[in-house]
Structure 1
């Protein structure tokens, strides 16, 4: 049985979020993706919420890389990367 903060479940969510960020940012400097399209400002806000969750899970698992989080935060706040299709 899995509990909400079980290491197995946290690891699974951590990997999902890590894959989300890797896909969303692989087109930079052209833009940030949301699904198969360019992210809108609202979708980038969703990304910021996901980053907060990722940061919390990273801390719980002892994986937090303090150097990466500010970079992702700045990318999600930079409107020049938003190109909704």
Structure 2
């Protein structure tokens, strides 16, 4: 399940935007997310959460959610082999 978070404040770094999105997800769902889908322009590496580029996510939108280990592993494998 994903929760969409929007923040177009140019004065705020992407890391803080994602941290705030994760905090909002935790308040709402009472669990920590393990993935954030972002636009390529917003991609950064963060410890403790997988930040993944998704072409359908627009700039300043952050889709915070939970994916099981099998899904994450399949996505990682597809990314390294170029398949889907």
Common fold: TM-score over 0.5: no
Higher helix share: 1
Q: Which has the larger radius of gyration?
A: 1
TM-score (norm 2): 0.30
Higher strand share: 2
TM-score (norm 1): 0.30
